[in-house]
């Protein structure tokens, strides 16, 4: 049975490199049958199975070596899994205690993630991972998993930690979205209020943040009838039995830390059976949490998200802020720690702002069609040389140099 109607949802641009030939992968996914009925649960289960298929397809390794004067300077081997699903066949499905489980066979073709692979990965980009506020904090009461707001940043940093070219800065106590944005559902994420604080950090280039939308509970017995219960109703159920499913839904955003522009957004959603003793305070990220069926479902979803973020961030341009312009020389806030070396060349961009009719600010970068050469490097700063005086192209503080 071919579900081609689902392909628009599943042709994910998951940024992970594959082998040169298409592969066929069998995988499994599951979803709670809730208020949307079997059709919605089937779509969610197929989406989860598709994510797993993309991860399984990434069993190839890519290796790159960097030589300088005949001496190896860097040898990087990493697992990759970038591709797109071209066809899905549902092999079978079954319902178990209000949970729909599907098995699929997916055809996956390789897809190149970067237009110029390898160039931008020569430099390390500082990625700040901020807090993840909850839309409904009461959802986290059962199990005591409210620490997810701060600790999810550490978890994501760990999952992304082995990726070359990324320096992860987990700062789970930093609310870049602003408290007033947490309870809303329709607004676009805006980190403009956090930009002054970000400028004082160590050349943060990109900010990962998000919102926890749903950690609610639903009894498995009532799942097919669409009867969802709030935490205040759990006293009516007998402890010690696995009678409840828990939801997990979150939005994820990536912003440019210099101008606050949103460059990526996505959502993930899954569910799983909660622990038998619903009142036990286990916390997010503990061994008990990850061993539960719910924790395993969350772990799979976060793995898929981490792979997607890895490819996205590795393919973003490297940039550094100009902090001083003196004649033909530019001082930038990135140096040896970011991978800059004497002789490297970067493009010079001029920062400007356009304004909409309601006062909206639209940051723009203008390419000056000029390259600057690195002449000296320190730990976290470097001097670059222009072919002429910076004033000729009106280069000032807060303009940028970039490598694509």
Q: What is the DSSP string of 321-366?
A: EEEEEETTEEEES--GGGT--TT-EEEEEEEEEEE-TTS-EEEEEE
Q: Quick check: 246 and 292 in contact, CB under 8 A?
A: no
Which residue, 113, 145, 176, sits at the end of a domain? 113
Pair of tokens at residue 351:
């920062």
Backbone φ and ψ of 234, nearest 5°: -65, -15
Q: Kindly state whether residues 358 and 384 are assigned to the same domain.
A: yes
Listed in sequence order, the residues at least 6 apart from 87 whose beta carbon sits closer than 8 Å to its beta carbon are 2, 4, 7, 106, 107
Q: Kindly state whether residues 150 and 251 are assigned to the same domain.
A: yes
Distance (Å, rounded) from C-alpha 163 to C-alpha 142?
34
**Burial of 61 by CB count in 10 Å (0-12 exposed, 13-18 middle, 19+ buried)?**
exposed
Of 138, 143, 137, the residue nearest 279 (C-alpha): 143
Which residue, 59, 89, 113, sits at the end of a domain? 113
Q: Kindly state whether residues 225 and 240 are assigned to the same domain.
A: yes
Of 311, 282, 251, the residue nearest 78 (C-alpha): 311
> What local confidence, expressed as pLDDT, does residue 58 receive?
58
Distance (Å, rounded) from C-alpha 14 to C-alpha 11?
9
First-to-last CA distance in the chain?
A: 43
**Structural domain count of the chain:** 3
Which residue, 94, 113, 132, sits at the end of a domain? 113
- Name residue 193's beta-bridge partners: none
Q: Can you state the angle between helices 293-314 and 148-160, rounded to 10 degrees?
A: 60
Find the domain containing 380 and state its range.
Answer: 318-403
Q: What is the DSSP letter of 302?
A: H
Q: Kindly state whether residues 210 and 74 are assigned to the same domain.
A: no
Q: Kindly state whether residues 143 and 287 are assigned to the same domain.
A: yes
Q: Kindly state whether residues 42 and 139 are assigned to the same domain.
A: no
Q: Kindly state whether residues 300 and 338 are assigned to the same domain.
A: no
Q: Kindly state whether residues 250 and 343 are assigned to the same domain.
A: no
**CATH no. for residue 84?**
3.30.1660.40
Q: Kindly state whether residues 177 and 107 are assigned to the same domain.
A: no
> What local confidence, expressed as pLDDT, does residue 82 receive?
57
Q: Can you state the angle between helices 293-314 and 37-57, rounded to 10 degrees?
A: 60
CA atoms within 13 A on the CB side of 396: 4
Q: Kindly state whether residues 122 and 243 are assigned to the same domain.
A: yes
Length of the chain (residues): 404
Q: Kindly state whether residues 23 and 96 are assigned to the same domain.
A: yes
Q: What is the DSSP letter of 118?
A: T
> What local confidence, expressed as pLDDT, does residue 4 receive?
41
pTM: 0.70
CB atoms under 10 Å from CB of 267, counted, come to 12
**CATH no. for residue 157?**
3.40.50.10610
The tens-digit pLDDT sequence of the chain (404 residues) is 444 444 444 444 334 444 446 788 888 888 888 777 888 888 888 888 887 787 777 543 333 334 344 333 333 333 344 567 888 889 999 998 888 899 999 888 765 556 554 455 579 999 999 999 999 999 999 999 999 999 999 999 999 988 888 999 999 999 888 544 444 444 567 777 777 677 666 678 899 999 999 999 976 544 333 333 333 333 333 344 445 789 999 999 999 887 788 889 999 999 898 988 878 999 999 999 999 999 999 999 999 999 889 988 988 899 999 999 999 999 999 999 999 999 999 999 998 877 877 776 677 888 999 999 999 999 999 999 999 999 999 999 989 999 97
> What local confidence, expressed as pLDDT, does residue 352 receive?
85
Q: Kindly state whether residues 226 and 123 are assigned to the same domain.
A: yes
DSSP-H helix ranges across 128-239? 148-160, 195-199
**CATH no. for residue 327?**
2.40.10.410
> What local confidence, expressed as pLDDT, does residue 88 receive?
87
């Amino acid at each position: 049975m071919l579900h081609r109607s689902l392909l628009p949802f599943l042709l994910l641009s998951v940024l992970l490199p594959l082998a040169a030939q298409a592969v066929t992968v069998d995988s499994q996914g599951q979803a709670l049958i809730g208020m949307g009925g079997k059709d919605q649960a089937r779509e969610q289960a197929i989406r989860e199975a598709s994510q797993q298929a993309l991860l399984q397809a990434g069993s190839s390794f890519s290796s790159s070596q960097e030589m300088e004067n005949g001496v190896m300077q860097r040898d990087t081997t990493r697992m990759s899994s970038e591709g797109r699903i071209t066809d899905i066949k549902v092999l079978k499905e079954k319902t178990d205690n209000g949970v729909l489980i599907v098995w699929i066979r997916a055809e996956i073709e390789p897809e190149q993630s970067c237009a110029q692979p390898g160039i931008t990965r020569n430099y390390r980009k500082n990625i700040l991972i901020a807090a993840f506020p909850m839309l409904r904090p009461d959802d986290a009461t059962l199990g005591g998993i409210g620490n997810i707001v701060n600790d999810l940043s550490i978890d994501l940093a760990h999952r992304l930690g082995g990726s070359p070219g990324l320096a992860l800065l987990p700062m789970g106590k930093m609310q870049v979205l602003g408290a007033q944005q947490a309870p809303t559902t329709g607004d676009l994420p805006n980190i403009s209020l956090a930009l002054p604080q970000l400028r004082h950090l160590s050349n943060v280039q990109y900010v990962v943040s998000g919102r926890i939308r749903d950690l609610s509970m639903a009894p498995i017995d009532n799942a097919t009838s669409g009867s969802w219960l709030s935490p205040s109703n759990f006293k009516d159920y007998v402890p010690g039995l696995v009678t409840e499913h828990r939801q997990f839904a979150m939005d994820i955003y990536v912003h440019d830390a210099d101008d606050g522009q949103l460059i990526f957004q996505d959502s993930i959603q899954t569910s799983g059976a909660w622990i038998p003793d619903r009142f036990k305070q286990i916390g997010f990220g503990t061994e008990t949490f990850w061993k539960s069926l719910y924790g395993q479902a969350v772990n799979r979803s976060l793995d898929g998200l981490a792979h997607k973020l890895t490819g996205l961030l590795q393919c973003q341009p490297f940039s550094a802020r100009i902090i001083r312009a003196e004649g033909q020389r530019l001082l930038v806030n990135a140096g040896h720690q970011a991978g800059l070396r004497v002789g490297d060349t970067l493009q010079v961009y001029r920062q400007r702002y356009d304004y909409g009719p309601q006062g909206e600010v639209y940051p723009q970068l203008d390419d000056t069609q000029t390259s600057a050469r690195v002449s000296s490097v320190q730990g976290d700063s470097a001097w670059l040389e222009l072919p002429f005086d910076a004033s000729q192209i009106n280069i000032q503080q807060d303009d940028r140099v970039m490598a694509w």
